[in-house]
Amino acid sequence: MDEILTRVLNAAQLAGASYADVRVVETVRQAILVRNGAVQGVSWTEDAGFGVRVVADGAWGFASSHRLEVEEAERVTKLAVEIARASALAKREDVDLGEPVVQRGSYRTPVQTDPFQVPLETKLDLLLRADQEMRRVRGVTTTEAELVFIRQRKTFASTEGSWISQEIVESGCGIQATAVRDGEVQRRSYPNSVGRHQQTRGWEFVTEQDLVGNAPRIAEEAVALLSADPCPEDVTTLILGGSQVALQIHESCGHAIELDRVFGAEAGFAGTSFLTPDKLGNFRYGSEVVNITADATLPGGLGTFGWDDEGVPAQRVDIVREGLFVGYLTDRETARQLLRLLGPSPYVTGQSNGTARASGWNRIPMIRMTNVNLLPGTWKLADLIADTDRGVFMDTNRSWSIDDRRLNFQFGCEIAWEIRGGKLTRMLRNPIYTGITPDFWRSCDAVCDADHWVLWGTPNCGKGEPMQVGHTGHGASPARFRNVRVFGKQ
Amino acid sequence: MLGEAKVRQLLQDALGRSRADQTELVLLSWDGALTRFANNTIHQNVAEHDAQVLVRVATGRRVGSAVTNRLDAGALDRAVSQAVAAAAAAPEVPDFPGLPDPQPVAAVHAFDEAAAAASPYWRARQVEELLRAARAEGAVAAGALATGVHEVAVANSKGVFCYHAGTRVNFSTVVRVDDGSGYAERAGWRLEEFDVVDLGRQALDRARRARNPRELPPATYPVVLDPYAVQDVVGWLTYAGAGALAVQEGRSWMNGRLGTRALSELVTVWDDGGDPDTIPLPFDFEGVPRQRVVIVDRGVPRGPVYDTQTAAREGKASTGHALPRAWPEAAAMGPVPSHVFLAPGDASVEELVRGLDRGLYVTRFWYTRLVHPGDCVVTGMTRDGVFWVERGEVAYPVRNLRFTQGYVQALASVERVGSETYLLGDRFGAFRVPAVRIGAFTFTGVTEF
């Protein structure tokens, strides 16, 4: 493998590239899905290849191949340089990466139990037992239980002198029960929806989730939802469960602070951002209890690593401090663009804060959320509910949608309870809430404490063309929001 | 590109070495490139060469799978061994119907030499011409132009072998003028059909007309939907409800509506992977020939599409709509339509708009998500040009709106259908759809731009 890396860097320089980097990435993925008591699939995926990124004639080119052979490395490198020269036909200015980044080292996700050493029989037994517990509940029509394990080994090298090896391990799990009656379809998921919860940890992560222990509860809730009242339309106080707060952060903050998006790089697809550079350091994003960080150094997050895919070390940066918008996610190129635009300030350094990641060997690194977190507040959830006279408590995402500048959002949840007199009362089905991002976060008046804080994983974040599915982390605990429009499908 | 002979040899050699009772190999190869632009410059420009083999084996009724993107014999044998080991550990799948038997597949030509040979310089020159036009008009353009060759082959131990090689071209652009935004997109397999500059001009014209939008209160309005928005409507109805698994599990909008007039009689939807007017793939990922399936006939839902397993449950034959079953996520989805057509009508878009007394003309929808499967209720935003229409004339642009709308009810109130269809890309295929006019569409919010 080292020969491929060296050959690429040499070939790129010989072909006239002023900068080149190469990543060799090998990924193994095991996925197990049990559905309605039967093993729907046990799959083992091996994926390997390399990607070459160059600057030539002041413009970017990238080419990649699954054939890990020296001759192919030469071909792909020449193609990357040719593509860069073609890009230069339509360039307005040269690529500016700032000072060279020279890093050498290695990083490995710390795991207590390597999930790939756990026998398949153990994994199947866990899923089948969880599935069985859900199917015991009368009225459940469909059940699913899932495990996913990923090990990615990647080596990055650049013409600036970086040489970095990393091994990232992820473990994910989830169960889901669906009940159907008279056209009404209700679903409950655990620990999170859209398949699963996931972290950069080992098998211990799975055992901690207690899928079997939670299976009867979520199955019973799915059935109970069929008979629940629809969520009434109201403007009211809303308390969100932690996983829904995590998704709210992801959609309304995480994407909005991607600086490539702010600068228009995603305008043709994912969109832009309302958090324009003129707002940096002076825009009230949320209330004073809202503190948001991007922290790639947090143990266990899906955005946790040693270095990003440009060789920049993992970092912790403030994004929102006591409600004030103070930081973006940057890569090397956008950090320089921001410096040129705004000049140096406490919020602008011209240095990447290390968020460029590629979904695989065949994709370029782009700004991706690391672990974008709402820092814990001071409340216990029970106290927060007791402190709320009228409102709705919603939990676990069911649908999510937000406009292309990340302002107008609408989220549906799987389940809700009405709050009356400081108590959770009747269950509500099909709950939905909607709002405008800064208005919503400014209405946040309470965040639960560290005892409720979970580093949630989002393993399905789409961005870029060709599409890249990124894995991001979001630490969050339940939080309360005032004057929110809620409603439900009848 | 690997070519049919090499693929046949590769897969049949691997099948010959498999010790499983039944073995299925699916090869997916992609050799493609994409030139991406934003802020009137090319900012990302990439190429990719990849090939995967998806292995599914059955030992009795125990099933396992594995995937590799290494094509040497050793790697393929390892993948087969992994799949066999997975099957050995798995309990029996009680209703596993076995792999399908060979059936004749009618080949369809969808390979364009010019598309296969498109160079980075060709893509850059096309894009630069569009960007030059945008700059001259004070506009800012973003988008992507992609070209490539895909190969798909399926072989199994019962004698199935099918192979298809085709080209793909995709282009999309968002053009902004001041606070106005416009959009254009096309998919296809013939390079000569693509006029990137003309599509850019369409988006530019839309952007110019979308400047200075006014705020409109959310309410229920009649709408004219451009084909981009129609793709979303038809896409959700077929993806979330026109596969047999969704119907069998009672979570499809078709449940309770089969054989009854649930949609406007102007609505006829079918799936046909063998039609060269889409981006064809004449067989599915089990090697079953794709049948032309009428999903909705003049407003009457006729039934979903099937793969081998869902068909066996009902004693039917597969219609050839299996996804790659070695991917557990795809297996859980069941079969889905992927080459979808909505029958065109007789009106130009201008005529559709002229028929609106008061309503909205919408370019496209964005970030749509299923809120409730029963009526296929979807929420999303408008994007890149939405206009208020009065007495059949576009009066002024309005700010983007959020909608929460049952797509079944939307297609029940279709009043007229456009005559021109656009081919728009999808992961495994494409949609060919016209514009439509709908009597009632519910908007539930408004954004700030």
**Is some CB atom of chain A closer than 8 A to the CB atom of B196?**
no
Q: What is the pLDDT of residues B385-398, one digit of tens each?
A: 999 999 999 999 99
Q: Which of B10, B46, B204 to mutate to test the interface with A (most CBs of A within 10 A)?
A: B46
Q: What is the pLDDT of residues B352-411, one digit of tens each?
A: 999 999 999 999 999 999 999 999 999 999 999 999 999 999 999 999 999 999 999 999
Q: Which of A87, A146, A263 to mutate to test the interface with B (most CBs of B within 10 A)?
A: A87
Closest by Cβ to B90, choosing from A62, A124, A434: A124
Residues of chain A short of pLDDT 70, as ranges, are 195, 490
CATH of segment(s) A2-227: 3.30.2290.10
Task: Name the closest residue on chain B to residue A429, using Cα atoms.
Answer: B372
Task: Give the pLDDT score at A195.
Answer: 67
Helix ranges (H only) for B106-258 are 113-117, 120-136, 196-209, 227-241, 244-248
Task: Name the closest residue on chain B to residue A334, using Cα atoms.
Answer: B43
Task: Give the pLDDT score at B12.
Answer: 97
Calculate the CA dihedral of residues A75, A76, A79, A83 and round it to 10 degrees.
Answer: -170
Shortest alpha-carbon distance between residue B156 and chain A (Å): 18
Whether A86 sits inside 8 A of B68 (CB atoms) is no
Surface of B (89-118) touching A: CB under 8 A: 89-91, 93-95
Q: Secondary structure of B41-102 in the HEC alphabet?
A: EEEEEEEEEEEEEEEEEEECCEEEEEEECCCCHHHHHHHHHHHHHHHHHCCCCCCCCCCCCC
Contacts of A268 in chain B (CB under 8 A): 36-38, 141-144, 172-174
Closest CA to B126 of B73, B58, B71, B200: B200
Question: Looking at chain A, how many residues does it have?
Answer: 490
Strand A372-374 and strand A292-295: pairing? antiparallel
Task: Name the closest residue on chain A to residue B29, using Cα atoms.
Answer: A66
Quick check: helix, strand or coil at residue B309?
A: helix
What CA–CA distances, in Å, run from B388 to B139, B213, B397, B435? 23, 10, 6, 17
d(CA A33, CA A196): 11
- Cβ A288 vs Cβ A322: under 8 Å: yes
Contacts of A436 in chain B (CB under 8 A): 447-448
pLDDT above 70 (res B220): yes
Sequence spans of domains, chain A: 2-227, 234-488
Task: Give the pLDDT score at A490.
Answer: 55
Residue with tokens 């065949």: A362
Q: Would you call B402 exposed, middle or buried from its count of C-beta atoms within 10 A (0-12, 13-18, 19+)?
A: buried
pLDDT band, residue B330 (cuts 50/70/90):
confident
Closest by Cβ to A62, choosing from B45, B172, B249: B45
* Amino acid identity, position A28: V
Shortest alpha-carbon distance between residue A76 and chain B (Å): 9
Q: What is the pLDDT of residues A323-370, one digit of tens each?
A: 999 999 999 999 999 999 999 999 999 999 999 999 999 999 999 999
Residue A96 DSSP one-character state: -
Whether residue B280 is preceded by a cis peptide bond, meaning omega within 30 degrees of 0, is no
**Is some CB atom of chain A closer than 8 A to the CB atom of B37?**
yes
Residue with tokens 């890309």: B425
Q: Average pLDDT for residues B6-25, to the nearest whole number?
A: 97
Contacts of B173 in chain A (CB under 8 A): 268
Closest by Cβ to B379, choosing from A48, A263, A410: A410
Task: Give the pLDDT score at B137.
Answer: 95
- Cβ A390 vs Cβ A240: under 8 Å: no
Residue with tokens 């324009």: A276
Q: Average pLDDT for residues B306-328, to the nearest whole number?
A: 95
Task: Give the pLDDT score at B328.
Answer: 78
Contacts of A128 in chain B (CB under 8 A): 91
Whether B37 sits inside 8 A of A82 (CB atoms) is no
Closest by Cβ to B65, choosing from A41, A84, A407: A41
**ipTM of the assembly?**
0.96
Q: Which two tokens stand for residue B275?
A: 């039609």
Closest by Cβ to A83, choosing from B47, B140, B326: B47
**Is some CB atom of chain A closer than 8 A to the CB atom of B380?**
yes
**Angle at CA A206, nearest 5°, toward A201 and A209?**
120
Task: Give the pLDDT score at B297.
Answer: 98
Closest by Cβ to B38, choosing from A178, A267, A404: A267
Cβ-Cβ contacts under 8 Å for A122 (sequence gap 6 or more)? none
Whether B143 sits inside 8 A of A268 (CB atoms) is yes
pLDDT above 70 (res B96): yes
Closest CA to A435 of A459, A401, A410, A472: A410
Whether B69 sits inside 8 A of A84 (CB atoms) is no
Whether B67 sits inside 8 A of A405 (CB atoms) is no
How many CB pairs lie under 8 A apart between chains A and B?
Answer: 281
Taking the CB of residue B329, how many other CB atoms lie within 10 A of it? Answer: 16
For B274, phi then psi, to 5°, come to -100, 5
Task: Give the pLDDT score at A1.
Answer: 82
Q: Average pLDDT for residues B26-39, to the nearest whole number?
A: 98
Whether B379 sits inside 8 A of A412 (CB atoms) is yes
Closest CA to A487 of A238, A245, A220, A183: A238
Contacts of A60 in chain B (CB under 8 A): 42-45
Whether A141 sits inside 8 A of B328 (CB atoms) is no
Whether B120 sits inside 8 A of A271 (CB atoms) is no
Closest CA to A264 of A311, A333, A324: A333
Strand B62-68 and strand B41-59: pairing? antiparallel
d(CA A377, CA A449): 5
Spell out the CATH class of B4-196.
Answer: alpha beta
Q: What is the pLDDT of residues B231-273, one digit of tens each?
A: 999 999 999 999 999 999 999 999 999 999 999 999 999 999 9
Calculate the CA dihedral of residues A13, A15, A21, A23 and round it to 10 degrees.
Answer: -130
Sequence spans of domains, chain B: 4-196, 213-449
**Is some CB atom of chain A closer than 8 A to the CB atom of B135?**
no
Task: Give the pLDDT score at A235.
Answer: 98
Whether B383 sits inside 8 A of A403 (CB atoms) is yes
Taking the CB of residue B21, how many other CB atoms lie within 10 A of it? Answer: 16
DSSP E strand boundaries for A36-141: 38-56, 59-65, 104-108
